């Protein structure tokens, strides 16, 4: 059920932005895509410096018009997620600057936010300069009527019929405690929001179900993230490990 | 006499030492209280601060409310303006909520443009009010395609002691409930809208809801309605919005894993709180 929605995930860190330490692009669907860049650890402003850990600043930019309160709110959510997933104490008095650019228009649902969170995770991995406790994968979920099935909703066209939905972000890491399901490591929740649209409402059973659906979908996103790392080239390499394998077969 | 002055000064010394300890090691200070099953302001973990709502105090606004949640004080005013509707939605009015956290309310806010905290709060209040459909925007229509009401719901925090979201939502709902709009008629020939000075009718709210915020410390201690001292020390913060029928409208959780029973407990407490606040 969820694999069909996640079939069109596309990840790329090939182009690589020049002025930053790491960057990546993540999209669930051509209508839901985000680009994130990470620079860090770099010098922090004296006023923003923290003596025991790194400071995290997140800037979210929409596709069109100036950033508003909605972008500030998404920025704060991403900042809390980055602070929880990175080991900030290893880089005191520095700054980790994350800039997220939305590449598609915002929707009433949370698909764009989930794409932005995943793009940040990939950019942090691409930078490689900040140690992380785990990899954060986020998925948007939604349902049509109260009591109907909850599924991963990434297509903007489907968004209009949704009467409830949310976004769940999970931290995946082999060092965490918990069951290992399939190939994905144990995960813990790191951020979530779930709300009903006008005229609708939900109960706690639905919230629990939504979390479970999101957990399974996030494990699939984790697998996509892992597969994409194989295709990445590091600085100085002309061929990625994937291309080397293909050539060897001949 | 001298002995009582000695005891007075040693009591004052102890208070000073406690205050210094609170400033230097806030988390340890809080944990010492938590170990005794009490909070620094004397409340139990489940207790909510006293709420007082004063509606209609600002006569120059179309609707107003003053909410005091413990020491957190929020003033909200509603002003109505006539505007042209959007081309895509010719029968819908506008509801524009906003909150400001000026420097007067707390030393942590400096004068200048709205801080990140104020912007995030504004966005969350916008989601809670507009996205949940508390007010039917088509009820604000005066003449389709030509004139609609725009309601500016502005909150200002006068004193910040934590949990501004719950207090601001309460203030906004209270102000909207007390809002009256003059009867407006649109004249097609002249293209102008005339408002009656005498007839005013209240705004129609479709649902009523209340929000409850919790903070979780060390995955097991759940504190309701955190104060400004407790808020930054919480590991996980959770906000639950419940409507008057006891159904959930939205939950937002940030910071980490909370067990399912903790989540359920918080939801139940939020439902009780919504019933409490209804009165």
Q: Does B255 touch chain A (CB under 8 A)?
A: yes
Tokens of A171: 């931290």
How far is B34 from B24, CA to CA, in rounded Å?
Answer: 18
Work out the percent of chain B whose per-residue pLDDT is above 90: 50
Quick one: which of A169, A168, A120 has its CA closest to A11?
Answer: A120
Write the DSSP string, B18-33.
HHHHHHH-HHHHHHHH
Q: Does B246 touch chain A (CB under 8 A)?
A: no
Among chain B residues, the shortest Cα distance to A77 is held by: B254
Quick one: which of B221, B212, B146, B153 has its CA closest to B184?
Answer: B146
Among chain A residues, the shortest Cα distance to B129 is held by: A198
Asked if the Cβ–Cβ distance from B251 to A190 is below 8 Å, we say no
pLDDT(A250) > 50: no
* Mean per-residue pLDDT of chain A: 86
> What integer pLDDT is reported at residue A94 of this predicted model?
96
Contact assessment for residue B82 and residue B142, using Cβ atoms and an 8 Å cutoff: yes
Sorted by sequence, the CB contacts under 8 Å of residue A234 that are 6+ apart come out as none
Fill in the DSSP letter of residue A178: S
pLDDT(A248) > 60: no
Asked if the Cβ–Cβ distance from A204 to B124 is below 8 Å, we say no
Q: How many CB atoms lie within 10 A of CB A102?
A: 23
Residue of B132, B205, B274 best to disrupt the A interface, most CBs of A under 10 A:
B132
Spell out which residues of chain A touch residue B206, defining contact as CB-CB under 8 Å. Answer: 198-199
Tokens of A49: 């410096």
Beta bridge partners of A119: none
Q: Does B120 touch chain A (CB under 8 A)?
A: yes
Asked if the Cβ–Cβ distance from A194 to B254 is below 8 Å, we say no
Q: What is the largest CA-CA distance in chain A?
A: 61
Q: How open is the CA angle B80-B83-B84, to the nearest 5 degrees?
A: 155
Mean of pLDDT values over A6-21: 84
Contact assessment for residue B83 and residue B150, using Cβ atoms and an 8 Å cutoff: yes
> pLDDT, tens digit, for every residue of A178-232?
777 778 888 888 999 998 887 788 888 888 888 889 999 999 999 999 988 877 7
Residue of B112, B245, B249 best to disrupt the A interface, most CBs of A under 10 A:
B249
> pLDDT, tens digit, for every residue of B23-65?
999 999 999 999 999 999 999 998 899 999 999 889 899 999 9
Quick one: which of A54, A38, A174, A189 has its CA closest to A116?
Answer: A38
Mean of pLDDT values over B84-95: 91
Burial letters for A222-249: b for 16+ Cβ neighbours within 10 Å, e otherwise?
bbebeebbeebeeeeeeebeeeeeeeee
How far is A137 from A156, CA to CA, in rounded Å?
Answer: 20
Fill in the DSSP letter of residue B170: H
Asked if the Cβ–Cβ distance from A72 to B248 is below 8 Å, we say no
Spell out which residues of chain B touch residue A207, defining contact as CB-CB under 8 Å. Answer: 248, 251, 263, 267
Work out the percent of chain A whose per-residue pLDDT is above 70: 91
Quick one: which of B142, B21, B166, B156 has its CA closest to B83?
Answer: B142
> pLDDT, tens digit, for every residue of B131-189?
778 888 888 888 898 899 999 999 999 999 989 999 999 999 999 999 999 988 888 88
Contact assessment for residue B162 and residue B226, using Cβ atoms and an 8 Å cutoff: yes
Contact assessment for residue A155 and residue A101, using Cβ atoms and an 8 Å cutoff: no
> pLDDT, tens digit, for every residue of B119-137?
999 999 998 887 778 888 8
- A/B interface, count of CB pairs below 8 Å: 86
Beta-sheet pairing, A94-102 with A55-61: parallel
Beta-sheet pairing, B221-224 with A32-43: unpaired
Asked if the Cβ–Cβ distance from A193 to B120 is below 8 Å, we say no
Q: Which residue has the tokens 């008057």?
A: B244
> pLDDT, tens digit, for every residue of B219-256?
888 999 999 999 999 988 999 988 888 888 888 888 87
Write the DSSP string, B80-101.
EEEEPPPSS-TT--EEEEEEE-
> What integer pLDDT is reported at residue A151 of this predicted model?
80
What sign for the dihedral angle of Cα A170, A171, A176, A179?
positive
Spell out which residues of chain A touch residue B245, defining contact as CB-CB under 8 Å. Answer: 201
> What integer pLDDT is reported at residue A206 of this predicted model?
87
> pLDDT, tens digit, for every residue of B203-218?
888 888 889 999 998 8
């Amino acid at each position: 059920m969820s694999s069909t929605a996640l079939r069109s995930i596309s990840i790329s860190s090939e182009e690589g932005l020049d002025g930053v330490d790491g960057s990546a692009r993540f999209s669930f669907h051509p209508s839901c895509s985000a680009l994130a860049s990470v620079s860090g650890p770099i010098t922090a402003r004296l006023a923003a410096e923290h003596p025991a850990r790194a400071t995290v600043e997140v800037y979210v930019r929409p596709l069109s018009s100036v950033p508003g309160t909605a972008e500030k709110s998404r920025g704060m959510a991403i900042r809390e997620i980055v602070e929880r997933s990175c080991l900030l104490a290893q880089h005191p008095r520095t700054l980790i600057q994350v800039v997220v650019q939305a590449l598609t228009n915002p929707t009433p649902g949370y698909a764009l936010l989930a794409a932005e969170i995943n793009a940040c995770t990939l950019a942090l991995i691409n930078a490689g300069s900040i140690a992380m406790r785990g990899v954060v994968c986020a998925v948007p979920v939604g349902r049509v009527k109260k009591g109907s099935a909850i599924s991963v909703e990434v297509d903007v066209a489907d968004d209009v019929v949704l009467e409830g939905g949310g976004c769940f972000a999970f931290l995946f890491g082999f060092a965490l405690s918990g069951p290992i399901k399939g190939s994905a490591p144990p995960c813990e929740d790191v951020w979530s929001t779930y709300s009903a649209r006008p005229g609708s409402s939900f109960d706690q059973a639905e919230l629990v179900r939504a979390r479970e659906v999101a957990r399974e979908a996030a494990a699939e996103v984790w697998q996509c993230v892992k597969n994409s790392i194989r295709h990445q080239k590091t600085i100085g390499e002309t061929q990625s490990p994937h291309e080397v394998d293909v050539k060897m077969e001949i | 006499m001298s002995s009582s002055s000695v005891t007075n000064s040693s009591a004052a010394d102890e208070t000073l030492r406690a205050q210094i300890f609170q400033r230097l090691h806030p988390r340890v200070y809080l944990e010492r209280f938590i170990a005794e099953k009490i909070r620094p302001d004397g409340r139990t973990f489940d207790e909510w601060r006293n709420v007082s709502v004063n509606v209609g105090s600002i006569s120059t606004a179309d609707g107003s409310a003053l909410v005091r949640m413990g020491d957190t004080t929020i003033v909200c005013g509603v002003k109505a303006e006539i505007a042209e509707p959007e081309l895509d939605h010719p029968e819908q009015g506008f509801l524009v909520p906003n909150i400001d956290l000026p420097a007067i309310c707390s030393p942590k806010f400096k004068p200048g443009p709205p801080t990140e905290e104020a912007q995030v709060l504004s966005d969350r209040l916008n989601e809670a009010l507009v996205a949940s459909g508390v007010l039917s925007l088509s009820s604000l229509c005066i003449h389709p395609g030509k004139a609609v009401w725009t309601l500016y719901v502005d909150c200002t925090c006068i004193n910040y002691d934590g949990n501004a979201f719950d207090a601001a939502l309460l203030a906004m709902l209270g102000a909207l409930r007390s809002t009256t709009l003059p009867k407006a008629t649109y004249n097609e020939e002249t293209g102008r809208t005339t408002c009656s000075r005498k007839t005013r009718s209240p705004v129609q709210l479709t649902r009523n809801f209340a929000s409850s915020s919790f903070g979780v410390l060390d995955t097991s201690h759940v504190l309701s309605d955190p104060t400004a001292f407790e808020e930054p020390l919480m590991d996980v913060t959770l906000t639950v919005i419940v409507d008057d029928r006891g159904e959930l409208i939205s939950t937002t959780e940030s910071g980490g894993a909370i067990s399912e029973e903790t989540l359920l407990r918080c939801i139940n407490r939020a439902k009780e709180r919504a019933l409490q606040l209804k009165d």
